[in-house]
């Protein structure tokens, strides 16, 4: 039986657990109530106005069924609007609201602080190396989950 500390899966869970806790703590301290996933979605929609939900899911590697609830909650909070696409009546186009933009701007320092805090045990160099190795492992394993990263289709 391998020790937990030798199991990449266990280490992945622990690091993610800490990362989420740090994110939520920093964001709450800044006076906001937004989860990591909600933040990622909001930022992606700001960068890609009018994006549909499937494309959004691919951009940030969500499961397509998860996104329905996330978008629901962002709409509920008034940070997004969702309306039917004129070109494809199956699709819903997502737009960030003014309140959403304000929230994103205001929350960014807390998000940056969180990214720093979760690496606080590492040197600058080690943090960069950890990110490089994670990116490499993720790229190789991209197709192994139901929610792989997908480039936005052009035009």
Interface residues with its own copies (CB under 8 A)?
Answer: 1-2, 4-23, 25, 36, 40, 43, 46-47, 60-61, 108, 112, 114-115, 117-122, 126-127, 129-131, 133-142, 144-147, 149
SS3 107: helix
Asked if 61 and 102 touch (Cβ cutoff 8 Å), the reply is: no
Q: Rule CB under 7 A: is residue 81 a binding residue for DNA? A: no
Query: Which residue lies nearer to DNA by CB, 31 or 124?
Result: 31
DSSP per-residue string spanning 52-90: EHHHHHHHHT--HHHHHHHHHHHHHTTSEEEEE-SS-TT
How far apart are CB 76 and its own copies at their closest, in Å? 23
**Residues contacting residue 58 through CB under 8 Å, at least 6 positions apart:** 148, 149, 150, 151, 152
22 binds, among its own copies, DNA, none (CB under 5 to 8 A by kind): its own copies
Q: Rule CB under 7 A: is residue 23 a binding residue for DNA? A: no
Asked if 20 and 27 touch (Cβ cutoff 8 Å), the reply is: no
Catalog residues that contact DNA under the rule CB under 7 A.
13, 17, 20-21, 35, 37-38, 52-55, 62-71, 73, 82, 85, 88-92, 145-147
């Amino acid at each position: 039986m391998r020790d937990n500390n030798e199991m990449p899966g266990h280490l992945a869970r622990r690091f993610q657990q800490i990362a989420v806790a740090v994110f939520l703590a920093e964001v709450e301290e800044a006076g906001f109530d937004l989860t990591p996933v909600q933040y990622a979605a909001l930022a992606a929609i700001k960068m890609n106005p009018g994006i549909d939900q499937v494309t959004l899911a691919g951009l940030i590697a969500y499961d397509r069924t998860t996104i329905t609830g996330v978008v629901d909650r962002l709409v509920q909070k008034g940070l997004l609007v969702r309306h039917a696409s004129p070109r494809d009546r199956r699709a819903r186009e997502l737009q960030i609201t003014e309140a959403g933009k304000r929230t994103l701007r205001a929350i960014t320092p807390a998000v940056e602080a969180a990214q720093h805090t979760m690496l606080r045990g590492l040197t600058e160099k080690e943090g960069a190396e950890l990110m490089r190795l994670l990116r490499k492992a993720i790229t190789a394993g991209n197709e192994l989950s139901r929610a792989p990263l997908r480039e936005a289709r052009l035009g």
